[in-house]
Structure 1
Amino acid sequence: MSGREHQYGTTVTWTGNQGTGTSGYKAYSRDLEITAPGKPPIPGSSDPAFRGDPARYNPEDMLVASLSACHMLWYLHLCAVSGITVTAYTDEAAGTMGEDADGGGRFTDVVLRPQVTLAPGSDSAKAEALHHEAHGKCFIANSVNFPVRVEAQITIE
């Protein structure tokens, strides 16, 4: 790999000690806080299936969101430099994770479903093709070992 290298850092702090630490499986909360310098904290937990707080983001939510956000940001960039004006973008992404009998597991796929609105006169065929290019450039999609599919819908205002 040639080119620049970028570094990222976060701090994950467990905030779920309810007085007795991890003295038992049900004795502690899975709550955590994710921070990075100069950014607001993100409240996290485990998935509710694993005794987590459903009101907090879990790592699986954040993985799916990372894939969606990376694709969107590349797509918007490519549209901007290609003369295509996007006026709205929403993605209802979904991931599937399989759990092994021993409690481990892995994601088996993620589907991105961007709904893109273009300004009048935009080239919808070119806008559609840019999803493929964005997918190929997405740093996160290039880093995972499962398929990430894109099922885009494009509308012109």
Structure 2
Amino acid sequence: MAKKGEHNYSATVVWTGNSGEGTKNYRAFSRDHEISCGEKPIIAGSADPAFLGDSSRYNPEELLLSSLSACHMLWYLHLCADAGITVSSYEDNAEGRMIETKSGGGCFDEVILKPIVSIGEEDDSELAQSLHKKAHSLCFIANSVNFEVACEPEIRCGN
């Protein structure tokens, strides 16, 4: 049982890419897998196509980027609601960069969130802008990574 203020999560990842030869060699298997969390719909995953993955499936790098973007958005919407700012639309075209290392691994070295937010004409656009900084400081996912997550928001009034 979780302690107060503690939240536990679980996910199941099942490799579905055995074409009959297992991992006999690097090119003998598919990187396809399925991600599930309880009874929610299954997410079809694979590796990035650069690593022999299926481009029609989500890869871990895209899911990390999406998690950062979604967490920031959810905090931002919460803060705007608390501040009396009416957000009518929010879209983020986030970008991230992963660098391969000499050892064959890799790591993200930056992510840039680029939210475009529409607020009411009477709302305080400066406050709306500043709430992105607060959302970033509260974001569970951004606080869990070891690389820079920048935010370049655009606020549109009266849309």
2:69 aligned residue = 68
1:138 aligned residue = 139
* Matched AA of 1:142: N
- Once the two structures are TM-superposed, the CA of residue 128 in structure 1 deviates from its matched residue by 0.2
- Structure 1: 5+ residue runs without aligned partners? none
* CA shift digits 1:61-108 (9 cap, x unpaired): 000000000000000000001000000000000100110122111100
RMSD (CA atoms): 1.0
- Structure 2: 5+ residue runs without aligned partners? none
* CA shift digits 1:28-70 (9 cap, x unpaired): 0000000011210000000000000011110000000000000
Q: Where do 1:35-114 residues align within 5 Å?
A: 35-114=36-115
* Matched AA of 2:92: D
2:130 aligned residue = 129
**Helix, strand or coil for the counterpart of 1:60?**
helix
- For 2:109 and 2:37, how far apart are their aligned partners in 1? 29
- Once the two structures are TM-superposed, the CA of residue 3 in structure 1 deviates from its matched residue by 5.3
Identity %: 56
TM, length-normalised to structure 1? 0.97
TM, length-normalised to structure 2? 0.96
1:22 aligned residue = 23
**Helix, strand or coil for the counterpart of 1:120?**
coil
